[in-house]
Amino acid sequence: MKKSDSYEEFIKGIWRDNPVFVQVLGMCPMLAVTNSAINAVAMGMATFFVLVGSSFLVSSFRNWIPKQVRISCFIIIIATFVTVADYTLLALVPKVHKELGAFIPLIVANCMILGRQEAFSSRYPVRLAVMDAIGMAGGFLLALFSLGAIREILGDGALFGIKLFGENFEPWVIMILPPGGFLTLGVILLFFNWFKFKKDEFLAEVAEAERGGG
Amino acid sequence: MNTGANAAAPSSLRLILTLAIAGLISGIAIIGIYESTLPTITANKARELREAVFKVLPGVSQMQQFVWRGDQLIAAEDLQKDEEAVYGGYDENGEFVGYAIPGAGPGFQDTIGLLFGFTPEQQLVLGMEVLESRETPGLGDKIYKDADFVGSFSKLSIDPEIVAVKKGTTSQPNEIDAITGATISSKAVVRIINKTHSDWIQRLPPPGSEPPLRQDAGDGS
Amino acid sequence: MDNLTWIFISALLVNNFVLTYFLGLCPFLGVSNSLETSARLGLATTFVMLVTAVCAWVLNTYVLIHAPYLRLICFIVVIASTVQFIEMLIRKLSPALFRAMGIFLPLITTNCAILGLAIFATNRGYGFVEGIVYALGAGIGFTLALVLLAGLREESELSDIPALIKGTAMNLIIAGILSMAFMGFAGLFSSA
């Protein structure tokens, strides 16, 4: 029972409640850096670190933090993790840091992270909170990667900088420019909508059939 | 701490204390990571700059920073805010080769930052390297991806200034081919170099009287 | 002077905060269903951006040169408290102005466009006047994008659109087309 609980928390973030494709959260830092797969993955990893770290801390100290100052405490915790991620990236991978630039500090303003602290970590025990954070951050990473990969493949004919097509491929440059970000996410959301529509239709049919049979 | 007991209505002292403790721990964590990554970050930046300087000044193996301070050009290791600097390049024997001058200006999309090598004696540009730009991928980014364009900034006369002309029509030593499909970006590069050059030309000492390499400056490694 | 024009136009059109940096998307997609609300939110954002630019300049000049690593935390704390203080001030001094934009002020503080403005202005090393001009351009640019989208959405309410596309997906695609249109402003300054 317990086991299935934490598994449930984990899987809901990856698919059913995917922060980007279903809840449409945390888009500010997301669209800007998904012009290549490597940037998207770096941003996803940084967000993963920040979300899991702050969920762990918030959940551990949830009984010590008074309700009145909880938001300020959450923001201080998140900002600390973001600063740590910022300096670590700058020291380890200066090239990627240069590409992401000002968008790493902006992880602070990612509404998904503060939202998880308020809605989940501050109410549940550490194990569940961390599983929830891993699921959500994993879903976020997955979403960033798919956007980055689609945009890089179409816009540059490459994935992680490795050319996929021959010389004759004419890159669809608009995809790595800002409009491509809006269009790609729009089309993916369309796909998720369609999936949900089909599922609802299917469920309705099943219910209909059951009623008819009984 | 007496947790939980007065959770219903915590005193303002407790609120302030919680925030103060959170701030303190966060401050310690941030200073810790800053101090531990600072040497690597400084070394990375110095290496990047050195590589760029050596790239735009062929044959250079040592460098010295010069800062425009108090209306004169002095050799200095530090750089204050709002101060401008150039980098003198010297060959193995410590002989002066030229200056590497950083410049920036509006490009097609956003600011282009670049570094170019310049020898005052012959009024020649020796090399150019784009340090930062957000030019259109596949078009404007040719200003640093197109080897022909970057290569044409080698031994290019800047007397009185560089002129970008239509591809294949260069006839003078100070003319350069603009990139087809990226005319605006390539002209922006030329304009930035011309402007930076005219800003600095009065500040640099007359050719032949360049300051020698300071012994303690080392090879910058 | 020339430099200031470039900063203004760049922030307003060429590098519009919403359409090329994707900043402030939450209000962009959430609030932009009516023209009037959008215009008021835009006005309030421009105002907060101006306050932010001043705060960022003061912090950068007097505090952060001694402790650059505290940048992020300082920006968040100082901007949030200054905006809260101004909100109280407006409520006292001008109830009419408060009704027009007051309710948005606390919302805006957590908007990434605000933090983005402070960070971009710092990274580019803008001085006081440059910072103000940059904030003005960014704020008006934000309002422009918001109002444009709201106008298009109000129109689309009246047309027959498949239920599948309605909502965020369609708004994103409209935003993509707007963003493409704004690309036409690139090169405005360098071609002169």
For B136-149, the pLDDT digits (tens) are 777 788 888 888 88
Give chains near A: 3+ CB pairs under 8 A.
B, C
**Would you say residue C107 lies in a domain?**
yes
pLDDT at C134 (0 to 100): 93
Q: Using a CB cutoff of 8 Å and minimum separation of 24, what contacts does B39-48 make?
A: B40/A91, B40/A92, B41/A87, B41/A90, B41/A91, B41/A94, B44/A90, B44/A91, B44/A94, B45/A94, B46/B220, B48/A94
Mean pLDDT comparison of B84-93, C21-30, C47-56, highest-scoring range:
C47-56
* Residue ranges making up the domain that contains C66: 29-183
In a domain, C147, yes or no: yes
- HEC per residue, chain A: CHHHHHHHHHHHHHHHCCCCCCCCCCCHHHHHHCCCHHHHHHHHHHHHHHHHHHHHHHHHCCCCCCHHHHHHHHHHHHHHHHHHHHHHHHHHCHHHHHHHHHHCHHHHHCHHHHHHHHHHHCCCCHHHHHHHHHHHHHHHHHHHHHHHHHHHHHHHCEECCEECCCCCCCCCHHHHCHHHHHHHHHHHHHHHHHHHHHHHHHHHHHHHHHHHHC
What is the model's pLDDT at position A52? 93
B neighbours by CB contacts (3+ pairs under 8 Å)? A, C
Nearest to C165 among A114, A174, A190 (CB): A190
- Interface contact flag, A77 B44, Cβ < 8 Å: no
CB atoms within 10 A of CB C120: 22
Mind listing the pLDDT tens digit for each residue in B172-201? 888 888 888 788 888 889 889 998 988 888
- The pLDDT value recorded for residue A29 is 67
Alpha-carbon gap, residue C164 to A192, rounded angstroms: 10
| Average confidence (pLDDT) over B4-20 | 72
Question: In this structure, are residues B112 and B143 in contact, taking their beta carbons and an 8 Å threshold?
Answer: yes
Q: Are A119 and A80 in contact (CB under 8 A)?
A: no
Helix (H) or strand (E) holding C159: none
Q: Which residues in chain A touch residue C76, judged by CB atoms under 8 angstroms apart?
A: 75, 79, 108
Residue A209 φ/ψ region, left for φ over 0, alpha for ψ in the -120 to 50 degree band, beta for the rest: alpha
Region A12-39: what's the mean pLDDT? 77
How far is the C-alpha of C122 from the C-alpha of C138, rounded, in Å?
15
Q: Mean per-residue pLDDT for A50-62?
A: 90
What are the tokens at B66? 């010069």
Whether residue C192 has pLDDT greater than 70: no
Distance of CA A47 to the CA centre of its chain: 8
Suggest the residue from A68, A71, A156 to mutate for an interface test with chain B (most B CBs closer than 10 A). A68
Q: Which of A44-53, B54-63, C112-121, C158-167 has the highest mean pLDDT?
A: A44-53
Radius of gyration of chain C (CA): 18
Residue C104 tokens read as: 């948005």
Q: What is the pLDDT of residue B5?
A: 43
Domains contained in chain C, number: 1
Chain B interface includes A73 (CB < 8 A): yes
Domain residue ranges in chain B: 46-217
Q: Do A114 and C112 touch (CB under 8 A)?
A: no
Report the residue of chain A nearest B47, measured CA to CA.
Answer: A94
C192 touches chain B (CB under 8 A): no
Helix (H) or strand (E) holding B125: strand B124-132
Within an 8 Å CB–CB cutoff, is residue A87 touching chain C? yes
CA pair distance A48, A138, nearest whole angstrom: 7
Burial of B77 (0-12, 13-18, 19+ CB in 10 A): exposed
C191: its two tokens: 């071609």
**Interface predicted TM-score (ipTM):** 0.83
Which DSSP letter does residue C191 get? T
Give the model confidence (pLDDT) of A82-96 as tens digits.
999 999 988 888 888
Two tokens, residue C117: 């403005």
- Percentage of chain A beyond pLDDT 70 is 96
At A7, list the tokens.
Answer: 């598994």
How many beta carbons lie within 10 A of that of residue C64, not counting itself? 17
List, in order, residues 6 or more apart from C97 with CB less than 8 Å away: C90
Write down the mean pLDDT value for chain B: 81
pLDDT confidence of B216, banded at 50, 70, 90?
low
DSSP secondary structure code for residue C49 in this structure:
H
Please give the pLDDT value at position B149. 87
pLDDT band at A81 (very low <50, low <70, confident <90, very high): very high
Asked if residue B139 lies in contact with residue B121, where contact means CB atoms within 8 angstroms, the answer is: no
Q: What is the pLDDT, as a whole number, of residue A19? A: 77
